[in-house]
Amino acid sequence: MKYICIDDGAVAELVSGRQFQSIDFEEGADLIKSLSGIGAFMVKSGRITHFQDSDGVFVCTAGAWKKKKYLLIDCEQSQIFSQLPKSDSLVSFQKLLRFCTKLWTNGVYNHSEKVISGTSKAVLFPFNYSANSGFRIAIEREPAKERLAKRDMHGHFLLVYKSGTSGADSAKEIANDGNLKKAFDRLPDIYREIQKTVSDTSVIGDGNQLATTDLGGSPPTSRPAHLPFEHWGPLLTNQQRKFIQAPVETAHRLQGPAGTGKTLSLILRTIHILRTAEKKKRTCHALLVTHSEATREAIQNTLSVVDHAHFQDRDRRTEAVALSVETLASLCANFLSQSISETEFIDRDAQDSKVLQELYIEQAISSSRKSDFSSFKKHLSGELRGLFEGTSDTDLAPLFQHEISVLIKGRAGESFDIYKNCPSLSFGLPVRNEADKGFIFTVFQKYQGQLAANSQFDTDDVVISAVGQLDTPIWRRRRDREGYDFIAIDETHLFNINELQVFHHFSRDAEHLPISFTVDQAQAVGDRGWDDASAFSEALVGDETVKANETTFTAVFRSSPDIRDFCHSVLASGATLFSSFPNTLSGSQSTFTRDDERRSQVITYDEYPDDETMFEAAFVHAEDLLKKTESTRPEVLITSLSEDVIKGLRSISEAKNKPVTILDRRGDYVRVEQAEKAGHIVLGHADFVGGLEFNVVVIVGVDKGRVPFEGEAEDSNSRSFLSYVAHNRLYVAASRAKYALSLLGVKSRGPSKLLDVARSQQLIKAS
Ligand SMILES: Nc1ncnc2c1ncn2[C@@H]1O[C@H](COP(=O)(O)OP(=O)(O)OP(=O)(O)O)[C@@H](O)[C@H]1O
């Protein structure tokens, strides 16, 4: 294929169809295959007709050819589709089409679109943030000038003649217009043919058009995933469909970055399996496990719209097909008569418990400092001793909390013997020898003592006792009667290994592992010591030899291309600093159509003289962006990675009478619903925003000293840990945004280092 000639009608169609934005859709995958010259050319859209011969391809829409504008991609000269991976090729093609539209309509260019003044050239840098940031596409805006002028067609053509990473002098460079001339000579014939085709198939054409238009739009609802099951069919990507319809008997891991529809697909898969069982008159009891009570409520609410058969309202004791939605704690309580009352239970995702746990740990550290440190001191490694001596109890608390939750409770099940042999985390407390572990374990025991003294349990306590009861002959006999035929687990990255090992005991048949689960490791806070995503499968399945099937999503539905790029820059910066930091956004694409992009805003970073002025400005930005994005107040989130900033924002909202609804648990959809009723903006710490989505997100205090948090600690271990978690939190907070993201900081502090990549690539502007 020497060239591809696309008319302006086809360009408009290709930028507005959601299915052309990602290779996860069959249409997107076919399109990129065709562009790369693999097989016959194919574009599935009612409005577009294409012609192919040995020379090239014409992608056209009906109309008078002389009135149209054309993009001619010279494939021979530019090699544009043979240099990049498929997903990147599609992204660069889509960005090219958008740039062409702007060149034709004198639109406003962004930082990656450059018209070279004094020349007839333009250059596009489609990947300003990533490994391919130097990749560019060169366009001649006035190809075959004289020849086209004679035929009254000057200004009707753009010619893509070069791509790659090397620069050149645009003023001197001359694009070869041989292929353009060939294509030009064929246009009258091609459009005569189209005219015939359109009149022959006008009825079919219309029908197809409707289908395409449907797909191009967003789901007609303001709430995520709130559409009945049947309506999702035509909106799904190939990958989503593949996951939803995959065989039930085997373990299946679904991975993908934020906003790719993991939760939605897990819900649809569960309903699909239950509906199939009902149709075939088979018994099927399904279990959907969420990480916290708040996300359980959110999923139950979504199910009430998606699932018209009301599987979740059915009683599994009397119905053959039913669904139970549980948290790990409620599951253990129901099955193992471990009922503990709400006041006894420490919910990791709730503000009160978090504060309480940190307080207990701080007290445990302080008491160990007084009573145990002197006897351990000479045996401790220099690094741990140095850290302990040079750091305050308050600054040490998050490091100990992480070690306790991930390793002592998470991996070792509170057993010192197992903990002793656990490999240390790369980014956290520096644990170098057995004495280090012994000392940390003493702090842990003190913490555990405090919980016991106050008669409180956390999830780990419940799970550890549960596992003991699950591996007994009594449960093995009950399992056949009470176990589940299908188990779905959302947000697996938030569970620790200890917890993951419980789930496979709940399947009805011990031989089969009908478990499906979703993962985005980058959303877990801090180094969890996972080697890769397959560690989740091993922990869940409980057997290293059983391989889970896997599906990866790359089409990001939630966020605009700019916001996706920004999130990618945060993960890329984390991955550069920390060997174990997962960059799950690589190779993903935003599915925003040109219509969605109309509401999208550039990402801004603004500086203020002090905190007070910044807090007030947060509300001004929120109001401004909600107007620009045509949103309502509850569709706006103000958040921060710092507890103190949240307190400051709260006081300002009270003092200035700007009512807000406050999130104090992770993914608390009920609070968001209250905000909807009250017409309030939502305010909450970054730890509580996971699982939610907003049109506008304002992140306050993204400056030095706060992101990452720098206490008094000088120690490099604690700094690395805080930097690691700041990357996770900033990614989670930013990826909640659909159309607009605004970042605020204090001038004297300067912007956070985490913004360096994004700033250097001009992904952020001052507003
Ligand atoms: N095929 C699709 N067509 C249109 N919208 C979709 C599609 N798939 C998912 N979405 C939308 O994308 C958004 C994100 O979905 P969801 O919350 O399930 O993603 P997620 O991957 O679980 O995100 P996170 O990891 O951030 O929690 C939702 O608004 C959902 O309705």
What is the residue with the minimal CA distance to atom 29 of ligand 1?
224
- Which residue has the least CA distance to atom 8 on ligand 1? 261
Per-residue pLDDT, averaged over 100-104, amounts to: 92
The residue ranking higher by pLDDT, 391 or 637, is 637
Q: Which of 558, 571, 732 to mutate to test the pocket of ligand 1 (most atoms within 8 A of CB)?
A: 558
CA of 578 to the centre of ligand 1 (A): 28
For residue 495, give Cα distances in angstroms to 13, 295, 313, 460, 702: 43, 14, 26, 10, 28
Task: Report pLDDT for 238.
Answer: 92
What is the per-residue pLDDT for 622? 97
Q: How confident is the model at residue 212 (pLDDT cuts 50, 70, 90)?
A: very low
Res. 456 pLDDT band, cuts 50 70 90: confident
The residue type at 419? Y
- pLDDT bin (cut points 50, 70, 90) of residue 221 is very low
* pLDDT > 80? residue 687: yes
Tell me the H-state helices in 546-661: 561-577, 594-599, 611-628, 643-655
Structural domains of the chain, ranges and CATH numbers in brackets = 3-213 (no CATH), 229-343+479-553 (3.40.50.300), 345-455 (no CATH), 561-765 (3.40.50.300)
Q: What is the DSSP string of 212-254?
A: HHHHHSPPSSSSTT-S-HHHHGGG--HHHHHHHTS-SSS-EEE
Average pLDDT, integer, range 717-724: 85
Per-residue model confidence (pLDDT) at position 215? 38
Q: Is 193 exposed, middle or buried (0-12, 13-18, 19+ CB in 10 A)?
A: middle
The arithmetic mean of pLDDT across residues 259-283, rounded, is 96
The mean per-residue pLDDT over the stretch 157-167 comes to 88
Q: How large is the average pLDDT for residues 406-424?
A: 88
pLDDT tens for 369-378 read 999 999 999 9
Where is average pLDDT lowest: 162-171, 202-211, 543-552, 606-615? 202-211
Worst-scoring range by mean pLDDT, 529-543, 618-632, 671-685?
529-543
Cβ atoms within 10 A of the Cβ of 544, count? 10
**Residue labelled with tokens 């995702």:** 349
Nearest CA residue ID for atom 18, ligand 1? 261
- Cis peptide leading into residue 708 (ω within 30°): yes
Percent of the chain with pLDDT over 90: 50
Whether 259 shows a pLDDT value over 80: the answer reads yes
What is the whole-number distance in angstroms between the Cα of residue 556 and the centre of ligand 1? Answer: 8
Query: What's the whole-number mean pLDDT along residues 637-665?
Result: 94
pLDDT-derived band at 458 (thresholds 50, 70, 90) equals confident
Residue bearing the bigger pLDDT, 315 or 357: 315
Atom of ligand 1 nearest to the CA of 240: 1
The per-residue pLDDT for 718 is 77
Predicted confidence at residue 575, as pLDDT, reads 86
Tell me: the pLDDT tens digits for 471-503?
788 888 888 888 999 999 999 998 888 788 888
Tell me the average pLDDT across 172-181: 88
pLDDT at 204: 30
CA distance 271 to 350: 29
Q: Which atom of ligand 1 is nearest to the CA of 553?
A: 21
pLDDT value for 531: 67
> Is pLDDT of 5 > 90?
yes
DSSP 8-state symbol, 546? P
**pLDDT tens digit sequence for 65-81:** 999 999 999 998 888 88
Q: What is the pLDDT of residue 341?
A: 65
Least reliable range by pLDDT among 101-110, 131-140, 150-159, 166-175 = 166-175
Spatial distance between the Cα atoms of 1 and 3, rounded to a whole number of angstroms: 6
From ligand 1's centre to the CA of 148, what distance in Å? Answer: 47
Is residue 345 pLDDT above 70, yes or no? Answer: no
**Tokens 């359109």 found at:** 198
Say how far apart CA 203 and CA 208 lie, in whole Å. 9
Q: Torsions phi, psi of 222, nearest 5?
A: -85, -20
Q: Which residues have C-beta within 8 Å of that of residue 341, sequence separation ≥ 6?
A: none
pLDDT the model gives residue 641: 96
Confidence check: pLDDT of 346 > 60 = yes
| The two structure tokens encoding residue 534 | 């397959």
Q: Of 192-206, 329-343, 592-606, where does the model show the most confidence?
A: 592-606
Mean pLDDT of 82-94: 87
Residue 466 pLDDT exceeds 90? no
pLDDT digits (tens, 9 = 90+) for 626-643: 999 999 999 999 999 999
ipTM of the prediction: 0.98
Q: Indicate if the pLDDT at residue 297 is higher than 70.
A: yes
State the pLDDT at residue 128: 66
**Smallest Cα–Cα separation from 548: which of 512, 522, 581?**
512
- Distance from the alpha carbon of residue 454 to the mean position of ligand 1, in angstroms: 41
Q: Does pLDDT of 533 surpass 80?
A: no
Question: How many whole angstroms from 686 Cα to the centroid of ligand 1?
Answer: 19
